[in-house]
Amino acid sequence: MGYSIAIDGPAGAGKSTVAKMIAKRKGFIYVDTGAMYRAMALYFLEEGIGADDKEKIRESAKNADITISYENGEQVVWLNGRNVNGLIRTEQVGNMTSAVSVNKAVREKLVELQQALAQKENVVMDGRDIGTCVLPDADVKVYLTADSRVRAKRRYEELLAKGSDCDLDEIEKDIIERDYRDMHRELSPLKQADDATLLDTSDMSIEQVADAIIGMCG
Ligand code: DC
């Protein structure tokens, strides 16, 4: 078992930016579990399977072969042998992901992959259920959150930078809906693990958050 840092929290709390920075500073592998769920959602979208079609999702989850590799320190997600990094960051895929990640078949498959990675590497892993389900014995557990307007603004700026056309109110509405669904699903809902440290990043810079988490590592 490697050293592990688990970072959970709602969309836009700054998890991936902070996790990447920590991974770089500590020389750990960054495991973006959301990207794996996103690749799975992309598969269902491309197959024309509806978010509510539980039966089809259960049957076909096994046909989505998802693996990850690292190129120059960047995680690459492969869906059936195809690099899908460039396709999984849209709002459409994000919303579909939140909807399909309630399914047991989807979660079991991806959790297994995530645990195998943490077994052989030192990892910074971010997601919704890392401290509670995937790595209950993580060395450091953090729950990152921020005000929903602040989180919407961060997503908005990210999308603008990529040249997407977007609306701040719409994004905030999506974020609130997505969080509600992630927090209220039956399987592995988003919640703070009892032994996780809560960090509200509304008024913190990325560097301050990374410093605080690195300070928790023994
Ligand atoms: O972190 P993200 O926005 O890329 O995650 C997309 C969706 O994936 C999120 O709404 C819920 C789901 N997810 C999950 O259920 N469990 C995880 N460990 C990571 C993401």
Q: Identify which of 37, 103, 110 to mutate to test ligand 1's pocket (most ligand atoms within 8 A of the CB).
A: 37
Q: Please identify, by atom number, the ligand 1 atom nearest to the C-alpha of residue 126.
A: 18
pLDDT given at position 63: 94
pLDDT given at position 73: 81
pLDDT given at position 62: 92
How far does the centroid of ligand 1 lie from the alpha carbon of residue 88, in Å?
12
Question: Structure tokens of 11?
Answer: 């969309």
pLDDT given at position 107: 96
SS3 121: coil
- Residue 129 near ligand 1, beta carbon < 6 Å: yes
Nearest CA among 131, 139, 138 for reference residue 192: 131
For the entire predicted model, the pTM comes to: 0.93
Question: Structure tokens of 10?
Answer: 């709602």
pLDDT given at position 207: 96
pLDDT given at position 162: 84
- Residue 128 near ligand 1, beta carbon < 6 Å: yes
Give long-range contacts, CB 8 A cutoff, 24+ apart: 70-79.
70/29, 73/23, 73/24, 73/30, 75/30, 75/31, 75/32, 75/35, 77/32, 77/35, 77/36, 77/38, 77/39, 78/39, 79/39, 79/40, 79/42, 79/43
DSSP state at residue 134 = I
- CA-based diameter of the chain, in Å? 48
pLDDT given at position 193: 98
- Residue 11 near ligand 1, beta carbon < 6 Å: yes
Nearest CA to ligand 1 atom 2: 34
- Could you tell me the mean pLDDT of each successive run of 10 residues in the chain, 218 residues long? 96 94 96 97 97 94 93 92 96 92 95 95 97 98 97 91 90 93 95 98 96 96
Could you give the count of Cα atoms lying within 13 Å of 131 in the half-sphere of its Cβ? 20
Beta bridge partners of 30: 124
Q: How far apart are CA 215 and CA 218, in angstroms?
A: 8
Question: Structure tokens of 171?
Answer: 């994004």
Q: Please identify, by atom number, the ligand 1 atom nearest to the C-alpha of residue 101.
A: 15
| Phi, psi dihedrals of residue 77, rounded to the nearest 5° | -105, 130
pLDDT given at position 110: 96
pLDDT given at position 198: 98
Centre a 10 Å sphere on the Cβ of residue 137 and count the other Cβ atoms it contains: 11
- Residue 132 near ligand 1, beta carbon < 6 Å: no
> Residue 9, by phi and psi: left (phi above 0), alpha (psi -120 to 50) or beta?
left
- Residue 75 near ligand 1, beta carbon < 6 Å: no
- Residue 4 near ligand 1, beta carbon < 6 Å: no
Question: Structure tokens of 109?
Answer: 């498959």
Q: Please identify, by atom number, the ligand 1 atom nearest to the C-alpha of residue 114.
A: 18
pLDDT given at position 128: 96
How far does the centroid of ligand 1 lie from the alpha carbon of residue 153, in Å?
19
CA dist list (Å): 21 to 12, 15, 33: 16, 10, 16
- Residue 148 near ligand 1, beta carbon < 6 Å: no
